[in-house]
Amino acid sequence: MRPRTARRLLAAAVLAATLPGAVSCAVGPERATPVGAVAPAPSASASPAAPVVPARVPETLSFTAKTLDGTAFSAAALAGKPVVLWFWAPWCATCASQAWTVAEIAPKYRDTVPIVGVAGLGEQKAMKEFVSEFELAGTPQLDDRSGVLWRRFEVVEQSTFVVVDRDGRVVHQGFLDGESLTRQVDALARG
Question: Domain containing 47 — which CATH number?
Answer: 3.40.30.10
Q: What is the pLDDT of residue 18?
A: 35
| Angle at 124 (CA atoms; ends 118, 127), nearest 5 degrees | 55
Q: What is the pLDDT of residue 135?
A: 94
Amino acid at the residue 1: M
| Separation in Å, CA 77 to CA 1, 71, 72, 167 | 41, 14, 12, 13
Mean pLDDT per block of 10 residues along the chain (191 residues) reads: 43 38 40 36 41 72 96 96 97 94 95 96 95 93 96 94 95 95 95 82
Q: What is the pLDDT of residue 110?
A: 93
Q: What is the pLDDT of residue 40?
A: 39
- Quick one: residue 46, left, alpha or beta (phi over 0 = left, psi -120 to 50 = alpha)? alpha
Q: Which domain covers residue 94, as residue numbers?
A: 3-190
User: How far is residue 26 CA from its own chain's centroid?
Assistant: 17
Q: How many CA atoms lie within 13 A of 136 on its CB side?
A: 30
Number of domains in the chain: 1
Q: What is the pLDDT of residue 106?
A: 95
Amino acid at the residue 151: R
Q: What is the pLDDT of residue 126?
A: 96
